[in-house]
């Protein structure tokens, strides 16, 4: 067990044995470092895997990825446990090489307070990315960066952020009012107010981007709820950051989905939520 590292893994309607990343972590002797937060409706049983090997919490209220992160992070900070906290979800696969690179990196001194790999969706680099007009933009020039880098105009996705516990001790937590969308962007922007650098590993990792189903079904409540969460988060973050341009980007997304899914639902829902919130 590496006492300097805690690994938080958030699950939703997935079984532990089906998550390749967990199998890779176990294979590398880090079972006791794993802290699973299960947001699924039904609690997992021990019929197919021994959950006693892990630290496991089931929460059917589903506080979102951020709510899960914060519950474990608060515990680690209170008990002064570990130096580094690695954030994961079930959408990201990892390799033995990544784990080796990460464990070597956390031994370096001094080191920036965030360590991150390069996240790819197929051949596209999605993290790190450039920040322009309060939005992240894919930039292929970032494919070659590694080591200690200045974080001005750069942002990162939540998945596989390895964060030094000093960041949280200094009061920089994830915002519970941003359960998923904009949570990473908001956290990183506040992180950059205090710290100037990231450490980017040379490792490349595949990450599955969450998206809506290829064919839109108005009766699919999960799709409707997911879109609502996105728009509400955009509205909240635009007010918090005093950046109304965030609502413009949300409108663009609603328009793209309206065209892609050939349904006016997304555009109508955008205006319903925005004006409903404005009118109280």
Looking at the predicted structure, is the pLDDT value of residue 279 above 50? no
**212 pLDDT band (50/70/90 cuts)?**
very low
Looking at the predicted structure, is the pLDDT value of residue 202 above 80? yes
Tokens describing residue 202: 């040379």
DSSP label at 208? P
CA distance 9 to 37: 6
Q: Give the pLDDT score at 256.
A: 93
Residue 84 CA: distances (Å) to CA of 3, 167, 219, 244: 9, 10, 43, 35
Interior CA angle at 101 toward 95 and 107, to 5°?
Answer: 145
> Which range in 47-51, 169-173, 260-264 is most confidently predicted, on average pLDDT?
169-173
CATH assignment of 5-206, among 3.40.50.1240, 3.90.550.10, 3.20.20.370, 3.20.20.70: 3.90.550.10
CA distance 158 to 185: 8
Q: Give the pLDDT score at 89.
A: 85
Q: What are the tens digits of pLDDT across the range 71-115?
A: 999 999 998 878 999 999 888 889 999 999 999 999 988 899 999
Q: Give the pLDDT score at 216.
A: 54
With the CA atoms of 204, 209, 17 and 6 taken in that order, what torsion angle do they form, in degrees rounded to the nearest 10?
60
Q: What are the tens digits of pLDDT across the range 23-53?
A: 899 999 999 999 999 999 888 876 566 777 7
Q: What are the start-end ranges of the H helices in 145-220?
A: 165-169, 183-192
Name the residue among 244, 246, 230 with its Cα closest to residue 131. Answer: 246
Q: What are the tens digits of pLDDT across the range 227-246?
A: 999 999 999 999 999 999 99
Looking at the predicted structure, is the pLDDT value of residue 141 above 50? yes
User: Quick one: the chain helix, strand, coil %, rounded to 5?
Assistant: 40, 20, 35
For the residues of 65-91, what is the DSSP string, one character each? Answer: HHHHHHHHHHHHHHTT--SEEEEEETT
Residue 267: count other Cβ atoms within 10 Å of its Cβ: 15
Percent of the chain with pLDDT over 90: 71
Q: What are the tens digits of pLDDT across the range 158-169?
A: 999 999 999 999
């Amino acid at each position: 067990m590496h006492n300097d590292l805690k690994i938080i893994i958030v699950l939703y309607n997935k079984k532990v044995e089906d998550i390749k990343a967990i199998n890779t972590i176990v294979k590398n002797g880090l079972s006791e470092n794993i802290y699973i937060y299960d947001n699924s409706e039904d609690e997992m049983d021990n019929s197919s895997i021994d959950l006693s090997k892990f630290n496991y919490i089931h929460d059917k209220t589903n506080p979102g990825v951020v709510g899960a992160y914060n519950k474990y992070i608060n515990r680690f900070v209170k008990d002064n446990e570990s130096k580094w906290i690695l954030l994961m979800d079930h959408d990201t696969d990892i390799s033995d090489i990544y784990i080796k690179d990460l464990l070597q990196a956390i031994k370096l001194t001094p080191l920036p307070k965030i360590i991150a790999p390069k996240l790819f969706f197929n051949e596209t680099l999605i993290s790190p990315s450039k920040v322009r007009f309060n939005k992240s933009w894919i930039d292929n020039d970032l494919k070659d960066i590694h080591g200690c880098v200045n974080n001005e105009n750069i942002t990162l996705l939540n998945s596989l952020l390895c964060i030094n516990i000093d960041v949280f001790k200094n009061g920089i937590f994830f915002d519970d009012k941003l359960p998923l969308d904009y949570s990473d962007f908001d956290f990183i922007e506040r992180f950059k107010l205090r710290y100037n650098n990231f450490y980017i590993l040379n490792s490349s990792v595949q990450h599955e981007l969450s998206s809506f189903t290829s064919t839109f079904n108005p009766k699919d409540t999960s799709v409707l709820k997911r879109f609502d969460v996105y728009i509400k988060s955009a509205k909240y973050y635009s007010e918090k950051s005093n950046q109304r341009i965030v609502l413009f980007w949300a409108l663009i997304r609603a328009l793209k989905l309206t065209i892609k899914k050939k349904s006016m639902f997304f555009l109508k829902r955008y205006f319903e939520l925005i004006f409903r919130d404005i009118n109280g």
